[in-house]
Amino acid sequence: MAGNSIGQVFRVTTFGESHGIALGCIVDGVPPGIPLTEADIQHDLDRRRPGTSRYTTQRREPDQVKILSGVFEGVTTGTSIGLLIENTDQRSQDYGAIKDLFRPGHADYTYEQKYGLRDYRGGGRSSARETAMRVAAGAIAKKYLQMKHGIVVRGYLAQIGDVACELKDWNIVEENPFFCPDASKLEALDELMRGLKKEGDSIGAKVTVLAENVPPGLGEPVFDRLDADLAHALMSINAVKGVEIGDGFAVINQRGSQHRDEIRANGFQSNHAGGILGGISSGQTISANLAMKPTSSITVPGNTITRDGEEVEMITKGRHDPCVGIRAVPIAEAMMAIVLMDHLLRQRAQNGDVNSSVPRW
Amino acid sequence: MAGNSIGQVFRVTTFGESHGIALGCIVDGVPPGIPLTEADIQHDLDRRRPGTSRYTTQRREPDQVKILSGVFEGVTTGTSIGLLIENTDQRSQDYGAIKDLFRPGHADYTYEQKYGLRDYRGGGRSSARETAMRVAAGAIAKKYLQMKHGIVVRGYLAQIGDVACELKDWNIVEENPFFCPDASKLEALDELMRGLKKEGDSIGAKVTVLAENVPPGLGEPVFDRLDADLAHALMSINAVKGVEIGDGFAVINQRGSQHRDEIRANGFQSNHAGGILGGISSGQTISANLAMKPTSSITVPGNTITRDGEEVEMITKGRHDPCVGIRAVPIAEAMMAIVLMDHLLRQRAQNGDVNSSVPRW
Amino acid sequence: MAGNSIGQVFRVTTFGESHGIALGCIVDGVPPGIPLTEADIQHDLDRRRPGTSRYTTQRREPDQVKILSGVFEGVTTGTSIGLLIENTDQRSQDYGAIKDLFRPGHADYTYEQKYGLRDYRGGGRSSARETAMRVAAGAIAKKYLQMKHGIVVRGYLAQIGDVACELKDWNIVEENPFFCPDASKLEALDELMRGLKKEGDSIGAKVTVLAENVPPGLGEPVFDRLDADLAHALMSINAVKGVEIGDGFAVINQRGSQHRDEIRANGFQSNHAGGILGGISSGQTISANLAMKPTSSITVPGNTITRDGEEVEMITKGRHDPCVGIRAVPIAEAMMAIVLMDHLLRQRAQNGDVNSSVPRW
Amino acid sequence: MAGNSIGQVFRVTTFGESHGIALGCIVDGVPPGIPLTEADIQHDLDRRRPGTSRYTTQRREPDQVKILSGVFEGVTTGTSIGLLIENTDQRSQDYGAIKDLFRPGHADYTYEQKYGLRDYRGGGRSSARETAMRVAAGAIAKKYLQMKHGIVVRGYLAQIGDVACELKDWNIVEENPFFCPDASKLEALDELMRGLKKEGDSIGAKVTVLAENVPPGLGEPVFDRLDADLAHALMSINAVKGVEIGDGFAVINQRGSQHRDEIRANGFQSNHAGGILGGISSGQTISANLAMKPTSSITVPGNTITRDGEEVEMITKGRHDPCVGIRAVPIAEAMMAIVLMDHLLRQRAQNGDVNSSVPRW
């Protein structure tokens, strides 16, 4: 079956091409009685929106979301919620040049192989524009998680190129165009971006997402473990090439005596596991890292072929981010929120409201 | 819903606890007419089986699989295939000591939080013993992939601790107890293992899995991309904390001009993408890396609490691997094969046998 | 999980309330390359539309469908198709009176029990207005079925009250307001309707749907048999209380020697089975009957209670059909087409294009 | 995808052929902490078992179920439950004669069309023997429903041929070989059966299933309404050709003023709806009827063709019921219990434990 849905109880289904008429989604399974307005959703859409800084694509879209159903008298009704964003800045003429060739590093070739044809306007469905609806659906999940469980899902840019940013201050994350949590790195990032603009090149990035206050017990062994479903959701974001939970790839060189998180009466003594043990949340903060590849939409010339197999050299014109990782923070938060929301409801389905005699922290 | 199934068209559902009566699975959606015998499945089970080398747990089980349905006159019938492995070496008495405490780094605490109770015998359902049925189901997928499409799925141990193993020779992978592809590293690995045995400690590992000859077009945007479903399947293996596709986390410091795989008339000029673009297979070799944490079943004492919240110090007795990554190679292969098989059938569902005019390699 | 989706490969997800802003749906899994325009969909929407005859509700909505995605240069692209119908005739004021009571025979009480609240405007999500999106999605399925396989799905009104209508002439079905296939019954139906209008009462109906030229092999034993999935889809239509396949309830008094459809070299000699044996299509015409209850929106006074449990007598004012079965014909066709489409693709997924040596008719 | 699973949260997946090694199923999503023994399941298996009376097939199988996983120290653990019944009375030799022809009224022809081959031994997967695992899984659901909610699911034979049986006394249902609730009809049924035996013919039947004490709120509009999912589950039973909810096909000739169930302070005044309004349970008793066709396994000669298309006349030898409806009562109960169990958990997933201020009865 086709793959435009995610989640089982909290289920998000999306549609929309980069240069089509509109983007939309249906969010099914939302518990009734949750206060919800368009403003709740718009906030995260604005964080993701292109054109908000000089480091991201200059495409300017208001990305104004409309709630078409499932909300009545200010609260969710439990029926499916329809969301819509109209595309206002379509400029199809920009993209005619790529109609008959396969941009290297893009999905042009694979979409054509899969479907036998493709919507070549701005990448069609393969464009990162699609992620707007992820952010919209994720905003509903975030609201529920916060309201009902005090769960906070938030992320930051952890690295661009060789500039690593440590989590020093959540407050500055929303106040700089990089979602960088380390004020001392802003200048280096700025310089890096300016250099890339000049070269017409792009660079990769690492994004970190955390979920605090997640209750223990979420995750469905043995295949739909919480970490497995997070890996699925995060890897499904455009340009992601790697996902880590907790210590991630650093575990390769760790000893068991070092990695295992010991427990005392006051709780876990460390969090190498990233909040997930045996695929089930432990009550500790859940942490994940994403590796995002450098965008292939650059002005450095590259070799490719046309649909007829002829070799050509090409550059990508137009409005593009030198680092797609920058705008990925709200998207990664949304995907983590969607997974947590879904698993909270799945846990409730089988196990009800957990009420064991086990000590909790 | 509970999570003991994986795949949509080729759908695998498993059951079984470490020290229960039996492990089993149902494989649904297998195309009819595929020759299949128990020997086809047994081969990979033997590769995964504990007790085959001095480096892995000394639990000795024949792990003899029985096909209970879905095969008639030597070929699959298209109906659901039931597989069964009886547990013969249960030794429940070994595990009574851990009944009332939560082994650090294990799923004891989280299972108890999730379900309010747990089968404490050998970890119950959270034991890696469960992966035997993944390997069994994966063997069916591997056979189909090889027979119908010439696809070869195979893996190797890429690193243990700080001993990295390059892919030098597929032939030796099956001939050493580490699945190591680099003869020059066998001694270092042996020494590392012996040291860990002595210390009663364990270590992490990195496993690489490749799929060659995968046709282009597999993967279902935007959520069930091939890389997303691989990440899900691989992260669902016990002890996995990270998954990479292609260059993985190395992309963070790559330029777009360096990462994108250029195309010429004779095909792609590199494979940084790991065979997947826009979530769809490109026809190149698919590559994935897994980071496996060091097992927490060690004899180095560790702190934890009992079910009543009392602090205790504990060690894990019994038969355990110092590096669970060693036996993970056949499991990782199985999970990749299951995902590819499922996506081949999903692709056929919507798009039929691909027959486009696009050049193929 | 919530239930606003149907189908597995060809998957339809809908949203929208009777008096909300819009109705919409996402159709996922549509094979690429199918010519599709809004006019293809509009035709069936117009057949279902209220206000087209004096026998159906006088609510006047153009029900103009927009295709928002998934179609490019006139053909489907294989990506998800977004469809939208804006509600133009909302008249919320009509419905304020029922805000605090449960109309007998309606879903007011059960929605309130399920969700703890409800959108009381015109029945909200429980209104038959929701079926517009079923018809829209079904039109895509019908087009594919006809184009690729020559399958014709069509239905007729088989009975209203005690006026039974035999299938005498397909040509007149679209030419009378009842979808009646028997010209000799039109006057009796007209008289029956006029009597009901006068009495302010309503009546039940029986609808028959047929699918011709369905290839053998569709249906997925043992639970998703073709007849089981048809029963699910048809019973999910508002007001349906019974579903029959083939001879249906008449089999209770049949002998085996009479019911079984014998086979000769020229094919089946009868079709008591309604085209489905063992849950799989046989290649014969598939037939189903639906029993539709009389609508409870009548002006005959009835007893009920308020949300506070107080007893009241009520009548339903406003624009309502005396027989909802009349407009159900296009809806029943749509649901059958959606199921057949889904099963064609599911069959292709596991079994490929059937190519056996079995004789076919 | 293949169809050997049913349910979403409470999910049952089955395997097994009539003359294979064993039948089995995996029941996933069972809430933890439910006391469960093999005896709980065996009871209903014994009710379904052939050979218990002179009116049903003389195949004698103990149908002894084994619980292989998911139960520990007498209670369910929340992990997947594996169930197994070994086939002990296979007698494959009986069936060689039908290897190369298509028995009329059976699934031989359609299985061969679907899969290109078939397990011809006793009908393979299409045999009603498959229903044993439905009954086994249903017994788990029944236990939970009774224990946690006081829900009683029970059925009876409502009609065979022209002998209708009214629900006069639940007590006698289990005490006669027909599951007949009307002592005055036992002689007529006995006579009917003896006549059929003599003629070598068979007859259809009507079965009624009821669920009492079902809480309001179950059912997932708009497609997975409770009635739609019941229709799916009941129609998926071998030989079922029709399903009714509440008044069923009788509604065709009812007036709205007559059909709608009025409400007073003491509850609903009638139950024409069969306990379901708008696809959601109302708190009233849920009622469903099934029409079961006469088995085609009769000794009256019939025409058919061989796999090569040659015309032949055949009779079905062996051990067969003259009325498969007799043994269908426990199967129908099981399917209704599975659906209710699944919907209870689905309802809890989205809506939690219902706690509205709406009056309940």
C328-351 vs D108-115: helix crossing angle, rounded to 10: 60
pLDDT band at C50 (very low <50, low <70, confident <90, very high): low
Tell which of B9, B241, B336 to mutate to test the A interface (max A CBs under 10 Å): B241
pLDDT band at C356 (very low <50, low <70, confident <90, very high): very low
> E strands of A197-336, at which residues?
205-212, 240-245, 263-264, 267-268, 276-277, 280-281, 286-292, 302-305, 311-314
| Residues tagged in the binding site annotation of D for FMN | 125-127, 238-239, 278, 293-297, 319
Interface of D with C in 314-353 (CB under 8 A): 346-347, 349-351
Range with lowest mean pLDDT among B82-96, B129-143, B170-184: B82-96
**Chain D residues lying within 8 Å of B117, measured CB to CB:** 32-33, 72, 75, 77-78
Which of D14, D28, D114 minimises the CB distance to B80?
D14
Distance from CA of A73 to the nearest CA of B (A): 31
**Chain A residues lying within 8 Å of D345, measured CB to CB:** 349-350
CB contact under 8 A, B242 and A236: no
pLDDT band at B360 (very low <50, low <70, confident <90, very high): very low
Which pLDDT value is given to residue B170? 97
**pLDDT above 50: residue B53:** yes
Cβ atoms within 10 Å of C74's Cβ, excluding its own: 9
Cβ atoms within 10 Å of C92's Cβ, excluding its own: 12
Q: What is the mean pLDDT of chain A?
A: 92
Between D92 and A120, where is the model more confident?
A: A120
Which residues lie across from A101 on neighbouring strands? A306
Please say whether the beta carbons of B62 and B88 come within 8 A: yes
| Size of chain B in residues | 361
Distance CA A68, CA A73 (A): 13
pLDDT band at C90 (very low <50, low <70, confident <90, very high): low
Range with lowest mean pLDDT among A111-125, A307-321, C345-359, D118-132: C345-359
Cα D15–D18–D23 angle (5° rounding)?
35
Which pLDDT value is given to residue C178? 95
Three state DSSP letters for chain B: CCECEECCCCEEEEECCCCCCEEEEEEECCCCCCECCHHHHHHHHHHHCCCCCCCCCCCCCCCCEEECCCEECCEECCCCEEEEEECCCCCHHHHHHHCCECCCCCCHHHHHHHHCCCCCHHHHHHCHHHHHHHHHHHHHHHHHHHHHHCCEEEEEEEEECCEECCCCCHHHHCCCCCCCCCHHHHHHHHHHHHHHHHHCCCECEEEEEEEECCCCCCCECECECHHHHHHHHHHCCCCEEEEEECCHHHHHHCEHHHHCCCEECCEECCCCCCCEECCEECCCCEEEEEEECCCCCCCCCEEEEECCCCEEEECCCCCCCCCCCCCHHHHHHHHHHHHHHHHHHHHHHHHCCCCCCCCCC
Sign of CA dihedral B91, B92, B97, B102: positive
**pLDDT above 70: residue B361:** no
**pLDDT above 80: residue A96:** no
Strand, coil or helix: D40: helix
**pLDDT above 60: residue C54:** no
**Chain C residues lying within 8 Å of A121, measured CB to CB:** 72
Q: What is the ipTM of this complex?
A: 0.96
Distance from CA of D121 to the nearest CA of B (A): 10
Structural tokens at position A250: 């650093």
Which residues lie across from A65 on neighbouring strands? A85
pLDDT band at A56 (very low <50, low <70, confident <90, very high): low
Distance CA C160, CA C182 (A): 13
Mean pLDDT of B182-195: 96
Interface of B with A in 149-208 (CB under 8 A): 159-162, 201-206
Mean pLDDT of C337-346: 97
**Chain D residues lying within 8 Å of C117, measured CB to CB:** 356
Please say whether the beta carbons of B261 and A296 come within 8 A: no
Strand, coil or helix: D342: helix
**Chain D residues lying within 8 Å of B21, measured CB to CB:** 66-69
pLDDT tens column, D22-48: 999 999 999 999 999 999 999 999 998
Contacts of C42 (CB under 8 A, 6+ apart): C64, C65
**Chain D residues lying within 8 Å of A342, measured CB to CB:** none
Tell which of C5, C6, C12, C26 to mutate to test the A interface (max A CBs under 10 Å): C26
Mean pLDDT of A67-72: 98
Q: What percent of chain C has pLDDT over 70?
A: 92
Mean pLDDT of C251-261: 97
Q: What percent of chain A has pLDDT over 90?
A: 85
Tell which of A17, A73, A111 to mutate to test the C interface (max C CBs under 10 Å): A17
Q: How many residue pairs bridge chain A and chain D with CB atoms within 8 Å of each other? A: 45
Between D223 and C319, where is the model more confident?
A: D223
Task: Using CA coordinates, name the residue in chain D closest to B30.
Answer: D2
Task: Using CA coordinates, name the residue in chain A closest to D32.
Answer: A351
**Chain B residues lying within 8 Å of D112, measured CB to CB:** none
C116 contacts chain A (CB < 8 A):
yes
CB contact under 8 A, D352 and A31: yes
Distance CA A268, CA D316 (A): 68
D9 contacts chain A (CB < 8 A):
yes
Strand, coil or helix: C172: helix
Please say whether the beta carbons of B341 and B144 come within 8 A: yes
Between D322 and D142, where is the model more confident?
A: D142
Distance from CA of C350 to the nearest CA of A (A): 12
CB contact under 8 A, C350 and B79: no
Structural tokens at position C2: 């919530």
Please say whether the beta carbons of A110 and C26 come within 8 A: no
| Residues tagged in the binding site annotation of D for NADP(+) | 48, 54
Mean pLDDT of C239-266: 97
**pLDDT above 90: residue C338:** yes
Which pLDDT value is given to residue D1? 77
Distance from CA of A125 to the nearest CA of C (A): 7
Structural tokens at position A249: 């790839």
pLDDT tens column, B59-75: 566 899 999 999 999 99
pLDDT band at A21 (very low <50, low <70, confident <90, very high): very high
Sign of CA dihedral C243, C247, C252, C257: negative
Distance from CA of A122 to the nearest CA of C (A): 13
Mean pLDDT of A287-293: 98
Which pLDDT value is given to residue D319? 61
Distance CA B219, CA A125 (A): 14
Structural tokens at position A220: 């469905």
Please say whether the beta carbons of C116 and D354 come within 8 A: yes
Cβ atoms within 10 Å of A317's Cβ, excluding its own: 12
Interface of D with B in 18-57 (CB under 8 A): 20-26, 28-29, 32-33
**pLDDT above 60: residue B52:** no
Q: What is the mean pLDDT of chain B?
A: 92
What CATH architecture does domain D5-351 belong to?
A: 4-Layer Sandwich (3.60)
CB contact under 8 A, C256 and D298: yes
Q: What is the DSSP string of D245-314?
A: ETTGGGGGG-BHHHHS--EETTEES--TT-SEETTEE-SSPEEEEEEEPPPS--SS-EEEEBTTS-EEEE
Distance CA D52, CA A7 (A): 46
Distance CA A225, CA A242 (A): 18
Task: Using CA coordinates, name the residue in chain C closest to D12.
Answer: C223
Mean pLDDT of D258-269: 96
* CA nearest neighbour of B290 among B155, B198, B138: B155
**pLDDT above 90: residue B98:** no
* CA nearest neighbour of A206 among A233, A241, A177: A241
Cβ atoms within 10 Å of A54's Cβ, excluding its own: 11
Please tell me whether A296 is known to bind a ligand: yes
C38-48 vs C328-351: helix crossing angle, rounded to 10: 140
pLDDT tens column, D202-213: 999 999 999 999
Distance CA C83, CA C334 (A): 15
Mean pLDDT of C305-314: 93
Between B60 and A9, where is the model more confident?
A: A9
pTM of the model: 0.96
CB contact under 8 A, B22 and D82: yes
Distance CA C314, CA A325 (A): 60
Please say whether the beta carbons of C156 and C181 come within 8 A: yes
Which pLDDT value is given to residue C316? 80
pLDDT band at B144 (very low <50, low <70, confident <90, very high): very high
pLDDT tens column, B203-222: 999 999 999 999 999 999 99
Range with lowest mean pLDDT among A350-359, D132-141, D218-227: A350-359
Please say whether the beta carbons of B160 and B178 come within 8 A: yes
Strand, coil or helix: C65: strand
Contacts of D253 (CB under 8 A, 6+ apart): C161, C162, C203, C204
Which pLDDT value is given to residue C49? 80
Distance CA C67, CA D74 (A): 56
Structural tokens at position B152: 């070869």
Q: Quick one: C249 exposed, middle or buried, by C-beta within 10 A (0-12, 13-18, 19+)?
A: buried
Task: Using CA coordinates, name the residue in chain C closest to D342.
Answer: C1
Distance CA A227, CA A241 (A): 16
Q: Quick one: B248 exposed, middle or buried, by C-beta within 10 A (0-12, 13-18, 19+)?
A: buried
Task: Using CA coordinates, name the residue in chain C closest to B350.
Answer: C31
Q: What percent of chain C has pLDDT over 90?
A: 85
Phi, psi of B34, rounded to the nearest 5 degrees: -85, 125
Which pLDDT value is given to residue D360? 39
Please say whether the beta carbons of A288 and A238 come within 8 A: no
C280 contacts chain D (CB < 8 A):
yes
pLDDT band at D90 (very low <50, low <70, confident <90, very high): low
CB contact under 8 A, B351 and C32: yes
Task: Using CA coordinates, name the residue in chain D closest to C217.
Answer: D114
Please say whether the beta carbons of C76 and A116 come within 8 A: no
